[in-house]
Structures are given as C-alpha cells and as structure tokens.
Structure 1
Amino acid sequence: MAMIIGCIMLFALAHQTLSTGQRPFLAMKQHLSPGLAWVWAIAALGSSIIWGFSHYPLAAGMLEEAIEVAFSFSLKGEGEDTGRQVYLFGLAVLVWIGCATTVWNYGKGASGVRLFENGIKILSLLIIVSFGWVVVSASLNGSVSWSVLLWGFVPHSLPDDAIGVTTMMAALGTAVGINMTFVYGYTILRRGWGREDGELARYDIVLGLVIPYLIVTSLISIAAAASLYDGESTIQNRLAPAQAGAMFAATGMGEFAGRLIFPLGVLGMAIGSLVMHMLTCGAAAAEMFDLEENSTAYRLACLIPTPAVLGVFLWSSMGPYVILPTSAFCGLLLPIAYIGWLILNNRREYLGDDMPNGTRALAYNSAMTLCVLVVVSSVVYSTLVALGWL
C-alpha cells in the first residue's frame, strides 16, 4: 500500500509536469503558494544533507567490508579506534569523489561517468540476483512453503502491538521521500519528455520504482526467513554482512563470492542514494537562486551535501538527535506537498485542456484524496508516538 500511495502521487506529478512542461517548483510558486514552494525546496535540500550523514558511514562500512574480503586488510580491533575512523573517513571521501564526478558530468555522456553509473547498477543488480538465487535454492530444498508465502501477501490481519503499528504507519507516510518528490519532475524534464510521454512516465514509475522495490524486499524477506530464521528467535532490524555472506555461501556461491556480494550490493545502493541527494540539492538551489543548469554555480550547489562525509565521525552521536526532527519536519511537509499537487491537478489555468475531467477526474481526485488522508494519519500517529503521547 505504501508504494501504491507513492506511485499515485508520482503519477499526478508526472502528468502535471509533462502536460505543462513547467518545472514543479515554479508551478507550485506561480499557481499555488510561493511560501509552500520555498518550504518544499528547503525541506528537500535539508533532508538530502542530513540523510547523507547516515549514508556515508554505511557506504564506507560496506567498502571496508569488501576490501577486507578481497584483500584481507582490516583495521577492525587494531588497538585504538581512531585509526579505523580515519580509514573509514578516507573511504567515505573516495565514495564522495565518485558521486561528485558523476553529478558534475551528469547527462554529458562521458565514458568514465557511464562506466561508473553502469557499475553501480550492476552492483545493485548483483545483490538482487544473489538473493533470488538463495530463494530458488531454498525452494528446491523444500525450505519455502509457497502456499503460506503467497497467503502472507494477502492482508488478513493488523499488528496488535505498538511497535508493529508504528512501523506500519511510518512506512505508509514515507514510501516516497520529500527529496524524491522534488527531484523526480526535473529528472523526466531532463530526459526531454513531453505531453506525449505521459504513458511512458507511468510505465517508468511502475517498472523503475515500484516493481524493483517489491522484488528486492520480497526476495530479501524470503531468503532471510528461509535461511536464517529458526522460527523462535527474535527478529532483528538489520541483516549483518556476515549473515548474508553465510547465506550466499550455503547456496554454492563459495565463501569469497558470498561474503563479497552483499557489501558491494549495499554499497551500490548507498552510492545511488548519495548521487540523488546531490542532484536534489542542485535542483533545489537552482530554483531558489535562479541558477543555470550545468553552470559552475549549479555544480557547486550539487556539492552542498559534502559536509555529510563527516557522518563517519558524527552519525553515531548525532543520529538520535536529528532523526526525529528531520523525519517530523519532512513527514509533516510531505502531505502538504501532496495536497498542493491535488489542488494543482484541478486548476484549469495551470493544466488547461489537460486537466482531468469526468470519470477520470473523479478517479484521480478520489485516489489522491485517499493517499493524502492515509499519509496525514500516519504522520500524526508517528509524531504522537515519537513524542510519547501514545
């Protein structure tokens, strides 16, 4: 349901952007509210910076794990922790260099950048294929009950504990991040798409976002349940590289390949997110300060999240203090942005003849209204729980 909500709202954004050819920030500023447009841009920029503080430590940690497996080099447990922290910082800087180079040459077709982008896609695809192989292997061994599994995809019960309800409500409210809502419109405009590409955009959202997400989460859940869960232990929130490596090795991949695939796959996903953070900051700054795309000022704006590299040192201490306010601020703004798109979808002076009418308008408005209500409910509930009022 969470992905369906995000899908519906991105459908609406794509329809508006491609029908008018107008950039989303400018559309919201001119046809709805300049203040809302600015807050939306600031929230997208701010969240991209803050979440980078968690992504760089993740990327550095996965790169460290891959180096340890490939070259048997590690500073883990070597006396003082300072040396390892500096080492991780150096790895984070390497990740930053790769991301910055990609963003600075984005869309130019440079062979080096294409190679880097394709490498990241291959790494991300590799982990998906690996989890898929684990599922196939477990299925052949009789470790997967497909009838029970398929029944589990049918909603037939709701969580009855506070943790379960909070997790479900948080997922409903954050299926699509505030930075994704901001940068997506610019992404499809940069591709040169127009009014005639509306159906292509919908296929792009479903095939490029929804289906891959469903496949990845399903494969990881099935693989972990079949290979790691004994039916009695408490389920943990994270899958450790050692656990994933053992799971892959048990399917015949070998210990070396098994231990290497997981950190490289997660590294690829983390780098993809960091590149999106940079592009979001560039797009937001370009709109707020009227910067020309691909100008020097625009490229420097893409580097606004650079301080997040220090997350290697800071995230463990700052994380608990910034996660709540950042999530609350962005979470509260997300339904406001959704309401803005709902209003714009019914503005004839904005959409002209492309404004939905009749049955199509009823379907659009009903779906978008339901999405707004669900997201607002989830944000309010999650905020009350975080404040300790529930």
Structure 2
Amino acid sequence: MANIEQQKQFLQKAEASGLLTRLGAYARLSGPGWLQSAITLGGGSLASSLFLGVLAGYSLLWLQPLAILLGVIMLCAISHVTLSTGQSPFVSIKNEINPVLAWGWAIATIMANIVWCLPQFSLGTAAVTQNLFPGFDGTLAKVGVCSVLLLLAIIVIWVSEKGSRGAKTFDLILKVMVGLIVVSFFGVVVKMTLTGELNWGEILPGFAPDLSMLFQPAQVYEHFLTQTGEFSSFWENKIVGAQRDVMIAAAASAVGINMTFFMPFVLLRRKWGREHRGLAKFDLWTALLIPYV
C-alpha cells in the first residue's frame, strides 16, 4: 500500500474482522521477515548443517530448528520493543544504558557481516563453476562470477531503496528466492523418500533435543570407540570438542548478531508503528521458522 496511514487502517479493520481475515492481511503485507530469512538461509547455515550431518549423523537434526525457534522469539521481542518505542534498540541502549555497549554491538555487527558475506561469493562461484558451467573455471572466471554477484547485490539494494514500490519488489524477489530454496529441498526429500533412500525410523528421533552431546560422543561413535582400547578417552574428548564447536557454530549461524541489529532499522525504515506489532511477529514466524525447518 502506498500510504502508511492506509496500511494502518487496513490492519485495524483486518484485526477487527476475525482470525482468517487478519492472517490474510498479514500475508499480504509481510516483508521484513523474509529479508531475515534470506540472511539466515546462507552459506553459514548450509556449511553447519553439512558438518552436523558428517559429525553426528541424524543425532543433531534438532539443533538448528531449536536455534531458529529461540532466534525468532528474540527477534519478536526486539521488534515489539522497536515498534512500541519508535526507536531502534541501538539508540535505546546508547541513551539509556551505555554508549560503549551500543557501539560494541554495532562494530560486532559490521564484523559479522564481513565474515558471513564473503563466503557467499565462494559459494556462488562454486555453484557456477562446478555445477552450472563445469568448464568455466580459472581465476578470470571466478573474478567474473564474483563481479556479477556483486552487481546483482547492488541492483537489488538499489531497487529496495526506491520507495514503497521498490520495497514491494524487493520483498517479492526475496519471497520467490526463499520459496525456490524451500521447494527444491522439499522436492529432494520427497524423491528420496519415494525411492526408499531415507530411513525415517532413524531420521525422526534426531529431532528430539539431546544436550548430552555437549559432553559425550554421539551414538554413531560407540562401535569405533570400543576398538580404541586405552586411547578411548583421548578420542572421546576429541570428538566431544568437535561436536561442541560445530553445535555452537550452527546455533550462531541460525540467527546472527547482524540480524538483531538490522531488523529494527528495516521496520523503522518502512515507518511501521504500534499497529504493526502483530504483523511483525507473524512475518518472523512464517518467513523464518517455516522455511528454515
């Protein structure tokens, strides 16, 4: 909607009309949550998922859904405070608590963006040179792919800054991209299930939280550890240390510090207010939790 006041009136009418009408209005106006979804569904989450699978098999399937669940709750709280006060938590912390803490948060966010953005270029380059065009390799090819990716990112950001229409186009692009990722993974799961390649009897128990793996090796290692004899304690400590590191990395990549800093500014940029608090929470739950799981 072009006018923020019209949007607020639309939300008020929808909320007074019942649950289904309200959900339809929320779905129509959703947007910022999909940006967070696009941020979290990146190379960090992919690498962490692969490492978790290699390290502990199905035993750690519960970790990332739990991490994103906690992250959504945290982002909902941040959004609620932002829309209630009309200012970002950065400003609130700087004025009400301590400027050092606020600027430390900002600097950590910048560092996190650098750490998490650069691998996306490596991931994109690998996707092009190894999957789409295997013969398109070499230093010049990699520079070309990275340049195209950078140009596309600049164009998308430029479009998002072009008023309400640009923001709507930006939201649509993100929804399509995230939707394609979800459909692609879902299609793989369906195909492997139909061909009998997935043992759901072993997979489903992996979604039950098990914090014991912070302190003891996963069950898949029991057979191998019994064969190490007097060196079993060494290998147990080695495996537990690796498990703990990857678990922490996976939880951290689910919802990054840059998301906690960036989300409030996106909401304020769109001039959302107290009337949008329910929409913001719906946006986060649907755009973050469902695609991630």
- How many Å apart are 1:191 and its aligned residue? 2.8
CA contact (8 A) 2:79 2:277 kept: yes
Match 1:62 to one of 114, 120, 127? 127
Taking structure 1 as reference, are residues 65 and 112 closer, same or farther at Cα in structure 2, changes over 3 Å only? farther
Counterpart pick for 1:135 among 189, 200, 223: 189
Do the aligned residues in 1 keep the contact of 2:86 with 2:273 (CA within 8 Å)? yes
Q: Which runs of 5+ in 1 are unaligned?
A: 77-83, 215-390
Q: How many residues align?
A: 203
Letter in 1 for 2:197: S
Q: CA deviation at 1:208?
A: 1.0
The answer on whether the counterparts of 1:43 and 1:178 sit within 8 Å (CA) in structure 2 is yes
Q: Which residue of 2 aligns with 1:17?
A: 82
- Segment drifting more, 182-191 vs 42-51: 42-51
Give the CA deviation at 1:201.
1.4
**CA contact 1:18–1:195 (8 Å) conserved in 2:** yes
* Alignment correspondent of 1:49: 114
Q: Tell me if structure 2 keeps the 8 A contact 1:28–1:34.
A: yes
SS in 2 for 1:158: helix
Q: Report deviation, 1:95.
A: 1.0
The Cα of 1:173 is off from its aligned counterpart by: 4.1
Higher relative contact order (CA 8 A, sep 6+): 2
**Secondary structure of residue in 2 paired with 1:144:** coil
Aligned counterpart, 2:154: 100
Instruction: Provide the residue aligned with 1:34 in structure 2.
Output: 99
Q: Secondary structure at the match of 1:192?
A: coil
Structure 1 distance, partners of 2:289, 2:274, is 22
Matched with 2:265 is 186
- Which of 140, 156, 162 matches 1:86? 140
1:195 alignment partner in structure 2: 274
Normalising by the residue count of structure 1, what TM-score does the alignment of the two structures yield?
0.47
Aligned partner of 1:39: which letter? G
Change (3 A) 1:105 1:11: same
Asked whether the 8 Å contact 1:102–1:117 carries over to 2, the reply is no
| Equivalent residues of 1:18, 1:197 under 8 A apart | yes
Give the Cα separation in 1 of the matches to 2:242 and 2:83: 41
User: Is 1:170 equivalent to 2:249 in the alignment?
Assistant: yes
Q: CA RMSD in A?
A: 2.8
SS at match of 1:29: helix
1:206 equivalent in alignment to 2:291? no
Partner of residue 256, structure 1: none
TM-score calculated relative to the size of structure 2: 0.60
Decide whether the 8 Å contact of 1:44 with 1:178 is kept in 2. Answer: yes
Question: Does the 8 Å CA contact 1:5/1:175 hold for their aligned counterparts?
Answer: no
Structure-2 change in CA distance of 1:60 and 1:118 (3 Å): farther
Letter in 2 for 1:133: G
Runs (4+) of structure 1 exceeding 4 A deviation are 109-121
Letter in 2 for 1:54: P
Q: How does 1:219-298 map to 2 (within 5 A)?
A: none
1:158 maps to amino acid: S
5+ residue gaps in structure 2? 1-65, 218-239
In 1, Cα distance between equivalents of 2:268 and 2:274: 11
Contact residue 129 and residue 136 of structure 2 kept, 8 A: no
Tell me what 1:2 maps to. 67
| Alpha-carbon separation, structure 2, partners of 1:89 and 1:115 | 29
- Distance apart, 1:181 and its partner CA: 1.0
Structure 1 residues 139 and 61: alpha-carbon distance in aligned structure 2, compared to 1, 3 A threshold? closer
Equivalent residue letter for 2:282: Y
* Pair 1:19–1:132, CA change in 2 (3 A): same
Would the alpha carbon gap of residues 190 and 174 (structure 1) be closer, same or farther in structure 2, given more than 3 Å must change? same
**3-state SS of 1:105 partner:** helix
Q: Give per-residue Cα distances to partners, 1:281-302, cap 9 Å, x unaligned.
A: xxxxxxxxxxxxxxxxxxxxxx
Kindly provide the CA deviation profile for residues 13-71 of structure 1, in whole angstroms up to 9, marking residues without a partner as x: 111101011122211111111111111111212221233332222222323345416xx
* Structure 1 residues 101-120: aligned runs within 5 Å: 101-108=155-162, 118=172
Superposed displacement of residue 112, structure 1: 8.9
Structure-1 residue corresponding to 2:208: 154
TM-superposed deviation, 1:144: 3.1
